[in-house]
């Protein structure tokens, strides 16, 4: 597969699938989400798609189509930051409920916002993900309803997760719901809005994280094996949370093993790797530019401005991107669900310098896909020209060569 895909099979063959699940929601007779041999969630074909279905699904698929914020339609009061996208407000934040703050991935802002949306009657459902109750290393799409605690879906799942498998079902049922997911999950909903007018009124809130990429399930399996536990013996697998960042915990019956966040993701000698799927390595938007609110970690900085991952009460950064997002955050604070503190733009940049460089390198990564003639997504309104001008030449060269090298080593697959 070379160039931009024209069929869903092209998307998969070109290594562009992110595993969001929206295609299976829109074509349930033809597609189901299945764990691939490599350990990623991918659509599997029961029947071929019609040409009309292929055209729709390629345009909705976030792996194939990533359309960023259009400067022409920016809302009043919004700044379009060249690196960070639409910004209306940015503050440190955490859930006011101490249990949510402790249990969640970071400060519990997403869990608290989901709870506020349900309790206030603004939505009839929140679509997100949770640990599979039967297979602790896997992740299931989950619908929280009024009266439920959104805490059941708290914490980050660093593995395959397809929250969008229920989108069509919720739309058809006339529900008004929020989606909490990765930036590409949000992109899929914005893409769908171009084809289904119900999205605007029925999915009024889109909330997301900053995203370093999704590894396949073998990463969790390797962590378990390093503790001497076989995957089928695992009774609990938690990537983080229960503290901030909290331990990566594996349990098998009464055996319990913890490693720190740094050991889990920064130890180069570890027998496991945070090896994100191919599409994540060329991702044009891992910071949720088209969400209403993006909620990364609010990492503590040391005296040199470097991020520490020392245990502390959880803190997020609450990045308001739309008027809807600003109104939601203000209402959740007023209703006592969120607490906030000031965050400077400079601190935010230091906390998320990895994403800063990733944004700048995107034009080089996309150019490498073209050069190699491999599958490439349609990317619009992500200020690629501006990135190319802002980026240091050596960063562009490294990203270009690195991407070509990865393609040559056969990584641009599934």
Ligand X SMILES: Cc1cc2nc3c(=O)[nH]c(=O)nc-3n(C[C@H](O)[C@H](O)[C@H](O)COP(=O)(O)OP(=O)(O)OC[C@H]3O[C@@H](n4cnc5c(N)ncnc54)[C@H](O)[C@@H]3O)c2cc1C
For residues 274 and 266, is the Cβ–Cβ distance under 8 A? Answer: no
We find the least distance from the C-beta atom of residue 162 to ligand X, in angstroms, to be 8
Residue 121 has a CB neighbour count (10 Å cut-off) of: 9
Between CA 315 and CA 319 the distance in angstroms is 13
We find the least distance from the C-beta atom of residue 335 to ligand SF4, in angstroms, to be 29
Q: Determine if 286 is a binding residue for ligand SF4 (CB under 6 A).
A: yes
Work out what residue 108 binds among ligand SF4, ligand X, none; the CB cut-off runs from 5 to 8 Å by kind. ligand X
Q: Determine if 214 is a binding residue for ligand SF4 (CB under 6 A).
A: yes
Q: Determine if 129 is a binding residue for ligand SF4 (CB under 6 A).
A: no
Using CB under 6 A, pick the residue from 4, 10, 22, 361 that binds ligand SF4: 22
We find the least distance from the C-beta atom of residue 50 to ligand X, in angstroms, to be 29
Which CB atom, from 88 or from 359, has the smaller least distance to ligand SF4? 359
Picking from 413, 402, 412, the residue whose alpha carbon sits closest to that of residue 365 is 402
Work out what residue 19 binds among ligand X, ligand SF4, none; the CB cut-off runs from 5 to 8 Å by kind. ligand SF4
Residues 6+ apart with CB under 8 A from 153: 111, 114, 126, 128, 129, 130, 142, 144, 180
Dihedral sign, CA of 93, 98, 100, 101? positive
Which CB atom, from 181 or from 247, has the smaller least distance to ligand X? 181
Which CB atom, from 49 or from 207, has the smaller least distance to ligand X? 207
Between CA 21 and CA 141 the distance in angstroms is 9
Edge-to-edge, what's the strand order for the sheet holding 255-259? Answer: 236-238, 248-252, 255-259
| N-term to C-term CA, the chain | 12
Q: Determine if 15 is a binding residue for ligand SF4 (CB under 6 A).
A: no
Count, residues near ligand SF4 per rule CB under 6 A: 24
- Give residues 149-188 in contact with ligand SF4 (rule: CB under 6 A): 182-184
Q: Determine if 296 is a binding residue for ligand SF4 (CB under 6 A).
A: no
Between CA 213 and CA 286 the distance in angstroms is 8
Which CB atom, from 60 or from 95, has the smaller least distance to ligand SF4? 60
Which CB atom, from 45 or from 266, has the smaller least distance to ligand SF4? 45
Structure tokens at 319: 């990045």
Which CB atom, from 4 or from 237, has the smaller least distance to ligand X? 237
Using CB under 6 A, pick the residue from 39, 62, 160, 296 that binds ligand SF4: 62
For residues 185 and 129, is the Cβ–Cβ distance under 8 A? Answer: no
Q: Determine if 211 is a binding residue for ligand SF4 (CB under 6 A).
A: yes
Between CA 363 and CA 170 the distance in angstroms is 37
In eight-state DSSP terms, residue 69 is -
For residues 57 and 49, is the Cβ–Cβ distance under 8 A? Answer: yes
We find the least distance from the C-beta atom of residue 142 to ligand X, in angstroms, to be 7
Which CB atom, from 63 or from 314, has the smaller least distance to ligand SF4? 63
Pick the piece of the chain touching ligand SF4 (CB under 6 A) from 15-23, 88-96, 112-120, 346-354. Answer: 15-23
Positions in the binding site for ligand X (CB under 6 A): 104-111, 128-129, 153-158, 161, 163, 180-182, 185, 209-212, 214, 295-297, 314, 316
| Three-class SS state of 245 | coil
Beta-bridged to residue 41, according to DSSP, are 35
Residues of this chain that bind ligand SF4 (CB under 6 A): 8, 11-12, 17-23, 43, 61-63, 182-184, 211, 213-214, 279-280, 283, 286
């Amino acid at each position: 597969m070379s160039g931009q895909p024209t069929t869903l099979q092209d998307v998969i063959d070109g290594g562009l699938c992110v595993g969001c699940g929206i295609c299976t929601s829109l074509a349930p007779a033809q597609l189901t989400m299945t764990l691939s041999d490599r350990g990623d969630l991918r659509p599997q074909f029961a029947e071929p798609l019609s040409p009309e279905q292929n055209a729709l699904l390629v345009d909705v698929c976030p792996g194939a189509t990533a359309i960023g914020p259009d400067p022409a339609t920016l809302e009043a009061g919004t700044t379009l930051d060249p690196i960070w996208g639409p910004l209306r407000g940015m503050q440190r934040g955490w859930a006011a409920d101490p249990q949510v703050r402790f249990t969640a991935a970071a400060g519990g802002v997403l869990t608290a916002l989901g709870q506020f949306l349900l309790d206030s009657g603004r939505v009839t459902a929140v679509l997100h993900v949770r640990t599979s109750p039967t297979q602790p290393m896997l992740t299931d799409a989950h619908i929280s309803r009024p009266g439920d605690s959104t805490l059941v879906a708290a914490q980050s799942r660093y593995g395959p997760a397809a929250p969008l498998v229920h989108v069509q079902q919720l739309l058809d049922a006339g529900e008004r719901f929020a989606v909490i997911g990765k930036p590409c999950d949000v992109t899929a909903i914005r893409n769908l809005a171009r084809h289904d007018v119900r999205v605007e009124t029925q999915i009024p809130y889109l909330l997301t994280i900053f995203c370093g990429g999704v590894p396949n399930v073998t990463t969790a399996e390797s962590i378990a094996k390093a503790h001497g536990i076989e995957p089928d013996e695992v009774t609990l697998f938690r990537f983080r949370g229960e503290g901030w960042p909290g331990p990566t915990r594996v349990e098998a019956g009464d055996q319990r093993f913890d490693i720190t966040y740094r050991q889990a993701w920064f130890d180069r000698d570890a027998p496991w790797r945070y090896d994100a799927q191919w599409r994540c390595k060329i991702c044009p938007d891992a910071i949720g530019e088209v969400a209403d609110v993006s909620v990364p970690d609010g990492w503590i900085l040391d005296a040199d401005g470097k991020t520490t991952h020392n245990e502390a009460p959880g803190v997020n950064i609450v990045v308001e991107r739309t008027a809807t997002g600003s109104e939601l955050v203000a209402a959740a604070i007023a209703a006592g669900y969120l607490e906030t503190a000031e965050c400077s733009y400079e601190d935010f940049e230091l906390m998320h310098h990895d994403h800063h460089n990733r944004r700048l390198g995107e034009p080089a990564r996309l150019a490498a896909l073209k050069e190699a003639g491999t599958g490439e997504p349609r990317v619009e309104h992500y200020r690629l020209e501006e990135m190319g001008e802002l980026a240091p030449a050596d960063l562009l060269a490294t990203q270009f060569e690195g991407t070509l090298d990865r393609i040559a080593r056969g990584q641009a697959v599934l």
